[in-house]
Amino acid sequence: MVKLGQKGEELACNFLVNKGYRIIIRNFKTSIGEIDIIASDKETLVFIEVKTRKSLQYGRPFESVTRAKKRKIANVAKLYLKKLGEVPACRFDIVSIFHKKGSPVFELIRDAFEV
């Protein structure tokens, strides 16, 4: 059985591709954490956090991205950039997905936070 988070990431990838993003890596893992999706949006490298919920009962999914989570994503992004060997223009986006009447509803928050 596919977990909610995995399904959300799959839905997010399809959503982003339809928005013109090019997916580079899914689930970039390091010893300090993980970035769900790394993609490019034209000339910009984008580090994307995906949050999925079955409903809005506990708030919008993106609201669960805490300051600590943002810091962790930023630190993992630094490791990716070090591995890449260059520092292109980059930003942090969040794809927030919840289900309404059985269908996914997407919210894309571009430039969701700064480091």
Q: Give the residue extent of every domain in the chain.
A: 4-58+67-113
* CATH node for 4-58+67-113: 3.40.1350.10
Beta carbons of 73 and 30 less than 8 angstroms apart: no
For position 102, what pLDDT does the model report? 81
For position 74, what pLDDT does the model report? 96
Q: Which of 31, 34, 14, 32 is nearest to 23 (CA)?
A: 14
Beta carbons of 47 and 92 less than 8 angstroms apart: yes
For position 15, what pLDDT does the model report? 97
Intervals of the chain under pLDDT 70 = 1-2, 4-5
Helix (H) / strand (E) element for 49: namely: strand 44-53
User: Distance between CA atoms of 60 and 78, rounded to whole angstroms?
Assistant: 28
